[in-house]
Amino acid sequence: MIRLICPFCGPRELREFEFHKTRAEPGSTPYAQVYERVNRLDDSVEHWQHVQGCRAWMLVRRNPSTGLVLETRILGGDHP
């Protein structure tokens, strides 16, 4: 099971988090944002929420093929 590091709470079990979606390409049309989402095997940029914790929304970059988490940071001014 992958393990996420909440920017506020530190490493927590995966079940505390909820996956929302992969990030839309910034600047794309509303249609593309809904229906043309990228699904990359090696570098997936995703929105997660620490639902059962501090409820912060986070941006998570990870490699779905290895389970390696490359980056976690809080969302701020990102495209929804």
**10 Å Cβ neighbour count for 72?**
19
Complex with another protein: residue 35 or 39, whichever CB lies closer: 35
54 binds another protein (CB under 8 A): no
> What DSSP character marks residue 23?
P
**10 Å Cβ neighbour count for 10?**
9
36 binds another protein (CB under 8 A): no
Q: Indicate which single residue of 28, 44, 51, 53 sits in contact with another protein (rule: CB under 8 A).
A: 51
The CB-of-40 to another protein minimum distance in angstroms stands at: 19
30 binds another protein (CB under 8 A): yes
- Report d(CA 24, CA 46) in Å as an integer: 9
